[in-house]
Chains A and B, each alone.
Chain A
Amino acid sequence: MSDMDDMDDGSGIVKKFMFLNRKAPHGTVYALEGLEVVLITAAFDQDVSMVFTDDGVYQLLKGIDTKGIEVKDFSKTYRALDGYDIEKLYVDQASMDARGLTEDDLIVDVTVLSVDEMANLMAEQDVVISF
């Protein structure tokens, strides 16, 4: 996407942006439109982390097929994130456990964090945007 290459606000400031993904990939538009913000933020050369928690862990599930509900399947975008230098992907251990999921069920490599570890990571951020 050429409009997202090398954007710059002119300040040279790099902040830590965390995107907190809490919703299932389909059913609402939050996950799809949230991804757009993540990609633009990376294009501004900011320090981007993505966290998947609650039903948000389903965004990374293998084998998503949206044919039956006739909506856009944007699942592949998550696998392309490293092409945008977005490599800090975290999932919440308790959310995975509650849904019977393990890392093997996910389409990308992630770091699984406990609640305490997640809280510490969050405390380090400059900007937290929740979708």
Chain B
Amino acid sequence: MQFGILVNEGPYSHQASDSAYLFARTALEKGYKVPRIFFYHDGVYNASRLATPPQDDRNVGARWSKLAADYGVDLVVCVAAAQRRGITDGVLGDNFRISGLGQLVEMGIQYDRLVTFGD
């Protein structure tokens, strides 16, 4: 079973990003495949390495980067949404990359399930 995950909200202001992370990590731990996670709308803010949350809280961006490092997940940030919001290659966290919406459509075509996290 291959899951594609779409994250539509930014970190901290909305639970969608936390829920997406927990879903993805749990699926991977249980042996399912999550080849790619796509970040759209304010979800692109998940990719910023400039965020410095308080030490006693989770670091959402770093957590995504580690998940990608541990399991080889492809973290893709929508270029159009990113440009609107000032997310460029220069501010991307580790293992994120910027690409087009075609990467999202491919997830829908190729994977068994596409799961959306957002409002």
Chain A contact residues, CB within 8 Å of chain B: 3, 7, 9, 11, 13, 15, 17, 29-30, 33, 36-37, 40-41, 44, 46, 126-127, 129-131
Q: Which residue of A lies closest to B42 (CB)?
A: A29
- Minimum CB–CB distance from A116 to chain B (whole Å) comes to 24
- B109 and A29 within 8 A (CB): no
- Minimum CB–CB distance from A68 to chain B (whole Å) comes to 22
- Minimum CB–CB distance from A74 to chain B (whole Å) comes to 13
Is residue B77 contacting chain A, with contact meaning CB distance below 8 A? no
- B101 and A36 within 8 A (CB): yes
Interface of B is mostly: helix
B42 contacts across to A, CB distance below 8 A:
29
Q: Which of A3, A29, A37, A130 contacts B105 (CB 8 A)?
A: A37
Is residue B56 contacting chain A, with contact meaning CB distance below 8 A? no
Q: Which residue of A lies closest to B4 (CB)?
A: A127
- A30-B41 contact, Cβ under 8 Å, with A37-B101, A129-B6: yes
A11 contacts across to B, CB distance below 8 A:
109-110
Cα distance A53–B118 in the bound complex, in angstroms: 17
Is residue B81 contacting chain A, with contact meaning CB distance below 8 A? yes
Q: A33-B41, A33-B81 are in contact. List 9 more A-B contacts (CB 8 A).
A: A7-B102, A9-B106, A13-B110, A17-B105, A17-B108, A30-B119, A37-B104, A44-B106, A131-B8
Is residue B114 contacting chain A, with contact meaning CB distance below 8 A? yes
B108 contacts across to A, CB distance below 8 A:
15, 17, 41, 46, 126-127, 129
- Minimum CB–CB distance from B84 to chain A (whole Å) comes to 8
B109 contacts across to A, CB distance below 8 A:
9, 11, 13, 15, 44, 46
Please name 26 pairs of A and B residues whose Cβ atoms are closer than 8 Å in the assembled complex, sorted by A: A3-B100, A9-B105, A9-B106, A11-B110, A13-B109, A15-B109, A17-B108, A29-B41, A30-B41, A33-B40, A33-B80, A33-B81, A36-B80, A36-B101, A37-B101, A37-B105, A40-B100, A40-B101, A40-B102, A40-B105, A44-B106, A46-B105, A129-B116, A130-B116, A130-B118, A131-B8
- Number of B positions contacting A (CB below 8 A): 20
B 41-54 binary contact with A (CB < 8 Å = 1; else 0): 11000000000000
A33 contacts across to B, CB distance below 8 A:
40-41, 80-81
A129 contacts across to B, CB distance below 8 A:
6, 108, 114, 116
